[in-house]
């Protein structure tokens, strides 16, 4: 018979193995290759006419292929002279990034519009592989004031706009309303992690579940969601380009996280997908992307509650990071294709179309004026995610601007949460690695 300790150790080893396998498959684009065929400077589109067709590369985030096809059909009905060729660029953000890098190196078969995740787009800025969109946004009269500011700001650097928000998400706190009620807890997310630590033993007492809480799978999620814990204690992976990884605030935050797994024994770490684990009843609460909401609601056999991300002892808001992907326009393709792609980009980000995409996937509407009434009538939980969007925090430079940093954060989190590594020394080692990436791969290219 497995004891709780052995069960926890087994899951920890599974999670660590999953991190290793996932990171091995996610080498990602290089930042040391040659320059793109066209410099990423302002492009003059005066007198340019849109091309008759262009390629749109997508990994169909949130199983959105059908929604993308509907948007393309609607666009072509409105713009019959522009054909959009939807191309599956990969099964995830990493694959589409690698394929895009290969196309850039070969200087052939480039798309005119491509999905760029939050942790990949900046290296394309550094490699001059994408063009700034400012001129196109002005020429095509994008209503920027109506976009969610935080989502747009995520793609801004050097006083220019390098992509526009598309499949955007935030993490949410998911909880089992039935178990919360049985434990006599309020029907809401905890305001702070300290409050949830008080609730956790009550949840374990009334539940047959192994865990009161399940941390998300570390590969691809650790660097993202742990910003919540760090910010709540006044810390963060970095402050601009100052790497604060091993600060006292960060050590305090991640010591709490480690203690919840080992010392206090109320939390576990998902080896693959915490949303799936939660829906299966393995844990009474978890953190997962808003993009998982529709799937959780469909699969859970209990009443699902969602709430804002918990705060910490220093800050209770804003402690929620944005995430997901945007759309960028590559350099090295004809201006006519770039203009056609920008015309489609404007269309898919119009209020009614971002509402359609949100309804189909669970991602955030990128426009303030998007009419979400029909969506909310069917899935009222989305309102919580929309409300939280107004108090989100732009991600730390260290997570989204350093090539490969997300992988290093995941490795460090795996050591702390699945191998009980010393928190302080692990974060100190991570700081050195992040500083090395910055010095070698980023700093030399900034301002060029």
Q: What is the pTM of this model?
A: 0.87
Calculate mean pLDDT across residues 46-51. Answer: 94
Contacts of 54 (CB under 8 A, 6+ apart): 82, 83, 84, 85, 111, 112, 113, 333, 337, 340, 341, 344
Answer left, alpha or beta for residue 441, where phi above 0 means left and psi between -120 and 50 means alpha.
Answer: alpha
Calculate mean pLDDT across residues 323-337. Answer: 95
Q: Do 261 and 144 fall into the same domain?
A: no
The encoded tokens of residue 414 equal 């795996």
3-state secondary structure 236-289: CCEECCEECCCCHHHHHHHHHHHHHHCCCCCEEECCCCHHHHHHCCCECEEEEE
Distances (CA, A) of 147 to 64, 74, 142, 319: 21, 21, 9, 21
Q: Do 62 and 159 fall into the same domain?
A: yes
Is 300 among the domain residues?
Answer: yes
pLDDT tens-digit series, residues 2-27: 333 334 443 444 455 444 444 444 44
pLDDT of residue 3: 38
Q: Do 127 and 162 fall into the same domain?
A: yes
170/227 Cα distance (integer angstroms)? 12
Percent of the chain with pLDDT over 90: 80
Percent of the chain with pLDDT over 70: 90
Is 424 among the domain residues?
Answer: yes
Q: Do 311 and 355 fall into the same domain?
A: no
What pLDDT band is residue 32 in, cutting at 50, 70 and 90?
A: very low
Residue 159 maps to which CATH number? 3.40.190.10
Q: Do 200 and 288 fall into the same domain?
A: yes
The encoded tokens of residue 277 equal 């684990």
317, pLDDT greater than 80: yes
Half-sphere exposure of 18 (CA within 13 A, CB side): 21
pLDDT of residue 91: 92
Backbone angles phi, psi at 154, to 5 degrees: -60, -25
Contacts of 52 (CB under 8 A, 6+ apart): 81, 82, 83, 340
Q: Do 161 and 82 fall into the same domain?
A: yes
Calculate mean pLDDT across residues 404-429. Answer: 97
90/88 Cα distance (integer angstroms)? 6
Half-sphere exposure of 173 (CA within 13 A, CB side): 22
pLDDT of residue 82: 98
pLDDT of residue 8: 44
Is 376 among the domain residues?
Answer: no
Calculate mean pLDDT across residues 328-338. Answer: 96
Q: Do 238 and 193 fall into the same domain?
A: yes
Smallest CA-to-CA distance from 154 within 146, 145, 165 is with: 165
Is 350 among the domain residues?
Answer: yes
Is 89 among the domain residues?
Answer: yes
pLDDT tens-digit series, residues 174-197: 999 999 999 999 999 999 999 999
Range in 1-10, 224-233, 284-293 with the lowest mean pLDDT = 1-10
Q: In terms of DSSP H, where are the helices of 349-404?
A: 351-361, 373-378, 382-389, 397-400
Q: Do 230 and 305 fall into the same domain?
A: yes
289, pLDDT greater than 80: yes
Q: Do 317 and 197 fall into the same domain?
A: yes
> What spatial distance separates the first Cα and last Cα of the chain, rounded to whole Å?
61
Is 246 among the domain residues?
Answer: yes
Q: Do 422 and 403 fall into the same domain?
A: yes
88/91 Cα distance (integer angstroms)? 8
What pLDDT band is residue 44 in, cutting at 50, 70 and 90?
A: confident
pLDDT of residue 24: 41
Average pLDDT, the chain: 90
74 within 8 A of 18, measured Cβ to Cβ = no
179 within 8 A of 207, measured Cβ to Cβ = yes
368/356 Cα distance (integer angstroms)? 14
Calculate mean pLDDT across residues 419-434. Answer: 98
pLDDT of residue 41: 56
Is 45 among the domain residues?
Answer: no
Calculate mean pLDDT across residues 28-46. Answer: 54
Range of the domain at 147: 53-168+324-370
What pLDDT band is residue 43 in, cutting at 50, 70 and 90?
A: confident
pLDDT of residue 448: 55
Contacts of 343 (CB under 8 A, 6+ apart): 50, 79, 82, 140
What pLDDT band is residue 108 in, cutting at 50, 70 and 90?
A: confident
User: How many separate domains does the chain show?
Assistant: 2
Q: Do 346 and 234 fall into the same domain?
A: no
Q: Do 414 and 428 fall into the same domain?
A: yes
What pLDDT band is residue 447 in, cutting at 50, 70 and 90?
A: low
């Amino acid at each position: 018979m497995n004891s709780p300790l052995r069960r926890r150790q087994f899951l920890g080893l599974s999670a660590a193995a999953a991190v290793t396998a996932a990171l091995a498959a996610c080498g990602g684009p290089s930042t040391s290759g040659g320059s793109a065929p066209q410099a990423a400077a302002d492009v003059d589109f005066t007198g340019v006419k849109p091309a008759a067709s262009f390629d749109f590369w997508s990994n169909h985030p949130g199983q959105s292929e059908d929604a993308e096809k509907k948007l393309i059909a609607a666009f072509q009905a409105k713009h019959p002279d522009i054909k959009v060729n939807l191309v599956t660029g990969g099964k995830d953000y990493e694959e589409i990034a690698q394929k895009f890098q290969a196309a850039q190196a070969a200087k052939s078969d480039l798309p005119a519009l491509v999905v760029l995740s939050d942790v990949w787009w900046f290296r394309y800025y550094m490699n001059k592989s994408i063009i700034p969109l400012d001129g196109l946004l002005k020429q095509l009269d994008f209503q920027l004031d109506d976009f969610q500011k935080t989502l747009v700001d995520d793609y801004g650097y050097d006083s220019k706009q390098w992509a526009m928000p598309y499949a955007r998400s935030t993490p949410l706190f998911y909880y089992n309303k039935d178990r919360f009620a049985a434990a006599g807890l309020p029907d809401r997310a905890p305001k702070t992690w300290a409050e949830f630590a008080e609730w956790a033993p009550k949840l374990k007492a009334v539940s047959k579940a192994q865990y009161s809480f399940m941390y998300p799978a570390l590969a691809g999620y650790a660097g993202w969601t742990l910003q919540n814990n760090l910010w709540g204690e006044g810390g963060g992976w970095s402050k601009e380009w100052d790497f604060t990884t091993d600060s006292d605030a960060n050590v305090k935050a991640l010591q709490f996280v480690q203690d919840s797994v080992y010392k206090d024994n109320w939390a576990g770490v998902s080896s693959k997908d915490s949303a799936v684990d939660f829906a299966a009843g393995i844990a009474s609460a978890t953190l997962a992307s808003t993009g998982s909401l529709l799937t959780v609601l469909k699969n859970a056999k209990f009443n699902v509650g969602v709430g804002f991300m918990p705060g910490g002892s220093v800050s209770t808001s804003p402690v929620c990071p944005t995430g997901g992907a945007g759309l960028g326009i590559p350099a090295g393709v004809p201006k006519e294709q770039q203009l056609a792609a920008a015309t489609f980009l404007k269309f898919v980000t119009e209020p009614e179309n971002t509402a359609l995409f949100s309804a189909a996937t669970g991602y955030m509407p990128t426009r303030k004026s998007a009419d979400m009434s029909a969506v909310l009538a069917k899935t009222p939980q989305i309102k919580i995610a929309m409300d939280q969007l107004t108090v989100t925090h732009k991600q730390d430079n260290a997570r989204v601007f350093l090539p490969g940093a997300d992988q290093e954060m995941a490795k460090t989190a795996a050591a702390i949460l699945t191998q009980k590594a010393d928190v302080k020394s692990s974060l100190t080692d991570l700081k050195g690695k992040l500083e090395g990436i910055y010095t070698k791969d980023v700093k030399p290219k900034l301002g060029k």
